[in-house]
Every structure is written in structure tokens, then in C-alpha cells.
């Protein structure tokens, strides 16, 4: 899976939780999931579970805690897939 | 209530800050969602009871029930996708009804980005059973399979007792008391009385009050096993809910939600709100599981006392009551209930008020029932009719002497002025509210 494909899937998974549609329209690697996209912090748990299902990976709590931006998520998934 | 206390209430009624009116309504019922559909269904005696294939598959003795229709499409229109991921059926019904009541009261739905908080508006939105669909379909199977980690973040808010009122608070930016009451089948009526009392006490200007009950076979199973659900009309769902009837054989499980936007008369007049009706008063009590009362049966003295206290709180003469919206579930308790009404209101069969049962059309929506039926009262007062009690052409022999007061077809009553509504629940709990048509 290419990085672009992973990025697109991550955005698709995050999308239902996003409260700031404008920030989503301009989404990039450095877009912060909580601060820019205004995702409720409690919902990060659900987003991580969806990553696990979509990419068939397991994400430890420590790894999950390090995900702040969309780019962080893409990098984590790439690492798990490799 | 003592004469002094009654005089106190009369004096209080002269102060618009202490009078409570209904300025908005929202309803999600098995026989109609939205005020127009619900009013029309009530007026024409349309049943919302249908065959529920899942109940048959799971070997329920009762395979019919009342479930509001068209909810998925409405939900997408009303809620953000993120909200929908954490809303079970009880939440969807309750929140649609609350948003509708808010808009019906002439208020604008707040923008989530606007940080204004409505400090003077609260909510008491109860539920009898709550989010058992979430518990049954996800929480319990996942936990039992050792998959706690996979539950995600949305479990607590869907199973916590105050889940619905909490969600409504966020949708409408409420800043006053936000809570959920629970008192079995009197929940919805109790919520309205409690909200009314809070406004009277000057602790809030506006309260969204009512009840919601999800559609869950897990919630209905215990009643089925108790043999209190109707099992005689599975092949004729629309005839299954038969309050007041000789052939009543148990209640039909229902679901849905209704919310009333209550407001001090002062607030309503200041903002020029459309007023449907006044909540004249109400009372809440418990029979103490004595004198024939128990966990599952009402103490008739408690019921009558509750009705009398409501009349006293409203500071009216019982003669002024034009119509009764009974609890009337279609169990053996119906004849006892009618006898209690007659005693408490001191009305003989000859001058008995019109009496009807909304449950004949929508089944018994448990914690939402009192709210669904109170909304029906307010709509009937506004339009001057009493809806039929369907499926009781064969009036129960012990109720027969009151037959003239039971409408089998819609009864047009342009002079309909005052309605009394009661709800009784497991735990021997009672709640009774009195509504009066608002004449500008």
C-alpha cells in the first residue's frame, strides 16, 4: 500500500468524527487531529480501533498516545505494515 | 393539601413567574412522528402496533410491538455523524423529540461553534429501562468474549442513566439542571411535574421535560416472561392493544419519545411565544407497597391520593375536569384504575369525564408513555377533541357503567378545557398532571 493510499484511508476513517469541515478540506500531514479537526479526544480510541480493523494491525496504547497529527497516524500505520 | 396550601397555590397563580405553560412539543411515536402526523393519527384512531419478526424468532409469547418508523432518515438529518456513532434508539427518539420541541417553541438550534450557554434552560428527560439495546448487542457480548478493549469510547454514554438528557444538553447548549429521572411507567409524567416545580420555584425559566424509551427486545423480554404482555392478538397487531376492553389480555410493548418545552408564563409572554396550554399542577407519590400495593401492583389509596393532590395543587374543583387520559395499559388493573378515578374525582358514572387511552394506539412505551400521552393531551386541548380509545368495543364488565364516557370514535369537544393525566409504575409509584387549554 502506498503512503498516499494510507493517507487517504486515514482521512476517510477520521472523517465522521471531524467537527471542523474546513480544516478537513485542507487536510495535510501536519493537521492536528484534536486541535485542527476538533475531534473529541474521547473518540481517538474509536479512531485507533478503526485503524486496526482497516489495516489489520494492532496498535499498543503507547503508540496510540503518540498520534497527534494525521501524518503521525500515517507513519505509525506504515511502520506496522512493514 | 390543606385549604391554606390551596389558597397559597391560587395566590401563586397570580404571579406569571410562578405559572408554567407549554410552549413547544416534540413527539416520536409508533403511529406518527412530528406533531401533524401524531395529531392526525390520534384523531383518526390509527394504530402503530405491528408484527415484530424478531420477537417471533426469539419465541416471545407476544410478537407485536410499537416502534416509531422512518427514524434512520430523520437521524441523518438531525445529527452529526460523530453523534450518531454514540446514539442508540432511546437516544435517537429522545433527541429528535427534544430538538423538535425546541424548534416548535420558536427557538433556533444553536451552532456548535457558538459558546453561548442557555443557563436558564434545563432538561429532565427520563427513561424506564434505558439503553438495553447497546448493552445487549455490544457491551455484554464484547465483555463476555474478553474484548473489553474493542468496546471503544461510546459505551458509557449510551448505557448511563442520564445518557439522553446529557446528549440533549450538548445539542441545545443547556445550562440549567440537566438530569434523567426514572420511575418505571410513571417516568414521563413525573418528569413534567418535576420540571414544572423547578420553574415554579424560580430555579429555571425553561425546562425540556419528558421521556424516551428505546425499542429493544431485551427491555421487553422480562415483561413477556412475567406474562403481562398481550399474547392473544399476534395475528391482528392493530387490535392487540385493548385497554378498557373485556378481552384485554396484557399490554403491548411500545417505544418512542415525547418532550414538552415548559416555560414560566413570564418568560413566554416576554418573548411572545405561542402558548399551547398551562400546566396547572401535579403530584407524585408512592403507595409504599401496602394496602394491596406491591412492586408490581398499585395501592389504590396511593393512586387516589395522588390524583387528589394533583387537583389540590392545581387549585381547581374536580368538577372542572373535562377529560381523563388514563394510564390504562390493557391489564387487569384497568377496572381498578377507572374505579380510582371515580373515587378520587368524586364523579359518578352519570357525570364522569370522558376517559381515553393513548396506549390503545401506540402500546405502552414505559418511561416515555406519560410524555407521549401528555403531548396528546396538550394537542387535544388545543384542537378541542378527545381521541378514541380503540379496540374496546367490548367494554370490560366492571367498566361498563362508564361506557358513555369512552369514545370509540374521535369526540369533538370544542369546549375541552381541562385534562388530567396520570401514570402509574412498578414500585407502586404514581404521577398525575393537570393541563388547561390556553386562551389568549
Chain A hits for B80, CB-CB cut-off 8 Å, are 19
- Cβ contacts of B287 within 8 Å, gap of 6 or more: B293, B298, B299, B301, B302, B303, B428, B429, B430
User: In the prediction, which pLDDT does B15 show?
Assistant: 85
pLDDT number for residue B165:
98
Identify the pLDDT of residue B176: 98
> Going along B10-120, which residue ranges are E strands?
20-29, 32-33, 49-51, 64-66
Q: Which residues contact A41 (CB under 8 A, 6 or more apart)?
A: A34
Kindly give, in sequence order, each residue whose CB lies less than 8 Å from that of residue B233, ignoring residues fewer than 6 positions away: B64, B239, B240, B242, B249
Q: Which residues of A touch B85 (CB under 8 A)?
A: 16-17, 43, 46
A17 at B interface, C-beta within 8 A = yes
B147 touches chain A (CB under 8 A): no
Residue B374 has a pLDDT of 98
Q: Which CATH superfamily is domain B3-14+281-437 in?
A: Thiolase/Chalcone synthase (3.40.47.10)
Instruction: Check if B8 contacts A (Cβ < 8 Å).
Output: no
Q: Could you tell me if B150 lies within 8 Å of chain A, comparing CB atoms?
A: yes
Residues forming CATH 3.40.47.10 domain(s) in chain B? 3-14+281-437, 16-270
In DSSP terms, which residues pair with B66 in a beta bridge? B49
* pLDDT for the residue B5: 59
**Cβ of A21 under 8 Å from any chain B Cβ?**
no
Nearest CB neighbour to A46, from listed B81, B112, B152: B152
Q: Which residues of chain B have pLDDT under 70?
A: 1-12
pLDDT of residue B373: 98
**In chain A, what residues touch B110 (CB-CB under 8 Å)?**
none
Q: Do B153 and A43 touch (CB under 8 A)?
A: yes
Would the CB atoms of A43 and B80 count as touching at under 8 Å? Answer: no
B432 is catalytic: no
- The reported pLDDT for the residue numbered B6 is 59
Alpha helices in B180-332 (DSSP H): 187-200, 217-225, 265-270, 300-314
Rounded Cα–Cα distance for residues B232 and B250 (Å) = 9
Contact call for B85 and A45, based on CB within 8 A: no
CATH of B16-270, one of 3.40.50.1950, 3.40.50.2000, 3.40.47.10, 3.90.650.10: 3.40.47.10
Tell me if residue B185 is catalytic. yes
The pLDDT of residue B130: 85
Q: Is B33 a catalytic residue?
A: no
pLDDT digits (tens, 9 = 90+) for A36-45: 999 999 999 9
- Among candidates B112, B153, B154 on the partner chain, residue whose Cβ is nearest the Cβ of A19: B112
pLDDT given for residue B3 in this prediction:
60
- Farthest-apart Cα atoms in chain B, separation: 65
Q: What is the tally of helices (H) and strands (E) in chain B? A: 17, 15
Backbone angles phi and psi of B114, in degrees to 5: -85, 125
User: Would you call A18 and B82 a contact, using CB atoms and an 8 Å cutoff?
Assistant: yes
C-alpha cell, B60: 416471545
Q: What is the pLDDT of residues A19-31, one digit of tens each?
A: 999 999 999 999 9
ipTM of this complex? 0.89
Mark the ranges of chain A whose per-residue pLDDT is less than 50. Answer: none
- Of B437, B390, B431, nearest to B411 by C-alpha is B390
Locate cell 388547561: which residue?
Answer: B436
Domains defined for chain A, CATH in brackets: 3-81 (1.10.1200.10)
pLDDT per residue as tens digits for the range B210-236: 999 999 999 999 999 999 999 999 999
* Count, residues in chain A: 82
Amino acid at each position: 500500500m502506498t503512503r498516499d493510499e494510507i493517507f487517504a484511508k486515514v482521512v476517510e476513517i477520521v472523517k465522521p468524527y471531524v467537527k471542523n469541515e474546513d480544516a478537513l478540506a485542507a487536510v495535510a500531514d501536519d493537521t492536528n487531529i484534536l486541535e485542527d479537526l476538533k475531534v473529541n479526544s474521547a473518540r481517538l480510541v474509536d479512531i485507533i480501533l478503526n485503524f486496526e480493523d482497516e489495516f489489520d494491525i494492532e496498535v499498543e496504547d503507547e503508540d496510540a498516545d503518540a498520534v497527534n497529527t494525521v501524518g503521525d497516524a500515517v507513519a505509525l500505520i506504515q511502520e506496522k505494515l512493514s | 393539601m390543606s385549604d391554606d396550601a390551596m389558597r397559597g397555590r391560587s395566590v401563586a397563580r397570580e404571579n406569571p413567574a410562578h405559572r408554567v405553560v407549554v410552549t413547544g412539543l416534540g413527539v416520536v411515536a409508533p403511529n406518527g412522528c412530528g406533531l401533524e402526523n401524531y395529531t392526525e393519527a390520534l384523531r383518526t384512531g390509527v394504530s402503530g402496533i405491528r408484527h415484530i419478526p424478531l420477537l417471533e424468532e426469539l419465541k416471545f409469547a407476544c410478537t407485536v410491538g410499537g416502534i416509531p418508523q422512518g427514524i434512520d432518515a430523520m437521524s441523518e438529518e438531525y445529527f452529526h455523524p460523530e453523534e450518531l456513532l454514540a446514539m442508540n434508539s432511546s437516544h435517537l427518539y429522545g433527541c429528535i423529540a427534544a430538538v423538535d420541541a425546541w424548534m416548535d417553541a420558536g427557538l433556533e438550534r444553536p451552532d456548535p461553534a457558538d459558546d453561548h450557554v442557555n443557563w436558564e434552560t434545563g432538561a429532565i428527560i427520563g427513561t424506564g429501562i434505558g439503553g438495553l439495546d447497546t448493552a445487549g448487542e455490544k457491551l455484554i457480548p464484547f465483555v463476555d468474549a474478553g474484548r473489553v478493549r474493542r468496546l471503544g469510547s461510546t459505551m458509557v454514554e449510551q448505557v448511563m442513566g442520564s445518557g439522553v438528557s446529557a446528549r440533549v444538553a450538548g445539542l441545545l447548549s443547556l445550562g440549567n439542571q440537566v438530569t434523567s429521572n426514572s420511575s418505571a411507567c410513571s417516568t414521563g409524567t413525573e418528569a413534567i411535574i418535576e420540571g414544572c416545580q423547578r420553574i415554579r420555584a424560580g430555579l429555571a425559566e425553561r425546562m425540556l421535560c419528558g421521556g424516551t424509551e428505546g425499542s429493544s427486545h431485551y427491555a421487553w423480554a422480562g415483561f413477556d416472561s412475567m406474562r403481562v404482555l398481550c399474547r392473544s392478538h399476534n395475528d391482528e397487531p392493530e387490535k392487540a392493544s385493548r385497554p378498557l376492553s373485556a378481552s384485554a389480555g396484557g399490554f403491548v410493548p411500545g417505544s418512542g419519545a415525547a418532550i414538552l418545552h415548559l416555560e414560566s408564563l413570564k418568560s413566554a409572554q416576554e418573548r411572545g411565544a405561542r402558548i399551547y396550554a398551562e400546566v396547572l399542577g401535579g403530584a407524585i407519590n408512592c403507595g409504599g407497597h401496602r394496602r394491596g400495593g406491591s412492586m408490581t401492583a398499585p395501592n389504590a389509596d396511593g393512586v387516589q391520593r395522588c390524583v387528589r393532590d394533583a387537583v389540590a395543587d392545581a387549585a381547581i374543583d374536580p368538577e372542572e375536569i373535562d377529560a381523563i387520559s388514563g394510564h390504562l395499559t390493557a391489564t387487569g388493573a384497568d377496572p381498578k384504575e377507572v374505579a380510582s378515578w371515580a373515587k378520587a374525582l368524586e364523579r359518578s358514572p352519570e357525570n364522569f369525564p370522558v376517559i381515553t387511552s393513548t396506549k390503545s394506539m401506540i402500546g405502552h412505551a414505559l418511561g416515555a408513555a406519560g410524555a407521549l400521552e401528555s403531548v396528546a393531551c396538550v394537542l387535544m386541548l388545543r384542537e378541542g377533541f378527545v381521541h378514541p380509545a380503540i379496540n374496546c368495543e367490548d367494554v370490560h364488565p366492571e367498566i361498563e357503567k362508564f361506557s358513555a364516557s369512552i369514545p370509540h370514535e374521535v369526540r369533538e369537544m370544542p369546549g375541552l378545557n381541562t385534562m388530567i393525566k396520570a401514570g402509574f409504575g412498578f414500585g407502586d409509584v404514581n404521577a398525575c398532571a393537570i393541563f388547561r387549554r390556553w386562551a389568549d
